[in-house]
């Protein structure tokens, strides 16, 4: 994989590139420097892969957090809709009872 150009990764990418140019300036081409350069490149590659793995883990964690929040919201919305339906039924029943009592009361008065 490659380092994506996301804001979160930019500082690390810049840091790695800075390290690469520092290493290149430190070790002008020669046979003994080739070994050291290879060692540095291997180390930088390992750092890059580690950073990518960490970022991918963070992204995965954020995705599952988002999914949990969505599920929570869907569940909350379902509960709210169910309660609204239940309250509606209850209100209609109370209205009907009130009307019946009023009619009975009026009938008694007459």
What does the alpha-carbon distance between residue 47 and residue 101 come to, in Å, rounded to a whole number? Answer: 80
Alpha-carbon separation of residue 75 from 78, 79, 102 (angstroms): 5, 6, 40
Is the pLDDT at 91 greater than 80? The verdict is yes
pLDDT recorded at residue 58: 94
Is the pLDDT at 78 greater than 90? The verdict is yes
Cβ-in-10-Å burial (0-12, 13-18, 19+) of 37 comes to: middle
Is the pLDDT at 107 greater than 80? The verdict is yes
pLDDT recorded at residue 9: 62
Q: Hey, which of 2-6, 11-15, 51-55 has the most confident mean pLDDT?
A: 51-55
Is the pLDDT at 52 greater than 90? The verdict is yes
């Amino acid at each position: 994989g490659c380092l994506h150009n996301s804001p979160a990764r930019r500082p690390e990418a810049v840091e790695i590139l800075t390290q690469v140019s520092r290493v290149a300036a430190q070790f002008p081409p020669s046979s003994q420097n080739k070994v050291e350069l290879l060692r540095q490149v291997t180390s930088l590659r390992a750092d890059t892969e580690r950073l990518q793995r960490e970022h991918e883990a963070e992204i995965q964690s954020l995705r599952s957090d988002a999914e949990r929040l969505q599920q929570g919201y869907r569940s909350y919305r379902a509960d709210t809709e169910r309660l609204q339906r239940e309250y509606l039924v209850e209100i209609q029943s109370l209205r009907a009872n009130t009307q019946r009592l009023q009619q009975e009361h009026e009938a008694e008065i007459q």
